[in-house]
Amino acid sequence: MQGPADQKLQTLTTIVYWVAKERLEEAKARNKLPTPSRGQTRIDKLRRELSVKATIQRVHRRNVAAYLN
Protein backbone atom coordinates (compact mmCIF):
# COMPACT_ATOMS: atom_id res chain seq x y z
CA MET A 1 0.00 0.00 0.00
CA GLN A 2 1.42 3.24 -1.12
CA GLY A 3 0.15 6.72 -0.53
CA PRO A 4 -0.73 8.99 2.35
CA ALA A 5 -1.56 7.69 5.80
CA ASP A 6 -5.23 8.68 5.52
CA GLN A 7 -5.67 6.50 2.44
CA LYS A 8 -3.93 3.56 4.12
CA LEU A 9 -6.09 3.95 7.21
CA GLN A 10 -9.26 4.08 5.11
CA THR A 11 -8.22 0.99 3.13
CA LEU A 12 -7.35 -1.03 6.24
CA THR A 13 -10.61 0.01 7.91
CA THR A 14 -12.57 -1.12 4.85
CA ILE A 15 -10.76 -4.46 4.71
CA VAL A 16 -11.32 -5.16 8.42
CA TYR A 17 -14.99 -4.21 8.12
CA TRP A 18 -15.68 -6.55 5.20
CA VAL A 19 -13.79 -9.47 6.72
CA ALA A 20 -15.69 -9.09 10.00
CA LYS A 21 -18.99 -8.81 8.14
CA GLU A 22 -18.32 -12.02 6.19
CA ARG A 23 -17.43 -13.93 9.35
CA LEU A 24 -20.53 -12.67 11.15
CA GLU A 25 -22.75 -13.76 8.26
CA GLU A 26 -21.13 -17.22 8.31
CA ALA A 27 -21.73 -17.50 12.06
CA LYS A 28 -25.37 -16.50 11.64
CA ALA A 29 -25.82 -19.07 8.86
CA ARG A 30 -24.49 -21.84 11.13
CA ASN A 31 -26.84 -20.92 13.99
CA LYS A 32 -30.10 -21.10 12.02
CA LEU A 33 -31.62 -23.94 14.06
CA PRO A 34 -33.27 -22.77 17.27
CA THR A 35 -31.97 -24.31 20.45
CA PRO A 36 -34.48 -25.77 22.91
CA SER A 37 -35.21 -23.81 26.05
CA ARG A 38 -33.86 -24.90 29.41
CA GLY A 39 -37.24 -26.30 30.37
CA GLN A 40 -37.52 -28.34 27.18
CA THR A 41 -34.01 -29.68 27.66
CA ARG A 42 -34.79 -30.71 31.24
CA ILE A 43 -38.04 -32.40 30.23
CA ASP A 44 -36.26 -34.36 27.50
CA LYS A 45 -33.59 -35.45 29.97
CA LEU A 46 -36.19 -36.59 32.51
CA ARG A 47 -38.09 -38.53 29.84
CA ARG A 48 -34.90 -40.33 28.82
CA GLU A 49 -34.16 -41.18 32.47
CA LEU A 50 -37.70 -42.53 32.95
CA SER A 51 -37.37 -44.59 29.80
CA VAL A 52 -34.11 -46.12 31.03
CA LYS A 53 -35.59 -46.84 34.46
CA ALA A 54 -38.66 -48.48 32.90
CA THR A 55 -36.43 -50.63 30.72
CA ILE A 56 -34.35 -51.72 33.71
CA GLN A 57 -37.50 -52.59 35.67
CA ARG A 58 -38.89 -54.58 32.74
CA VAL A 59 -35.66 -56.56 32.38
CA HIS A 60 -35.53 -57.15 36.14
CA ARG A 61 -39.12 -58.47 36.16
CA ARG A 62 -38.29 -60.81 33.28
CA ASN A 63 -35.22 -62.12 35.08
CA VAL A 64 -37.17 -62.68 38.30
CA ALA A 65 -39.96 -64.45 36.39
CA ALA A 66 -37.44 -66.64 34.59
CA TYR A 67 -35.73 -67.46 37.89
CA LEU A 68 -39.00 -68.44 39.55
CA ASN A 69 -40.12 -70.64 36.66
Q: What is the per-residue pLDDT for 43?
A: 95
Q: What is the pLDDT of residues 7-64, one digit of tens each?
A: 888 999 999 999 999 988 887 777 777 788 999 999 999 999 999 999 999 999 898 8
12 and 22 in contact (C-beta within 8 Å)?
Answer: no
Measure the CA–CA gap between 27 and 6, rounded to whole angstroms.
Answer: 32
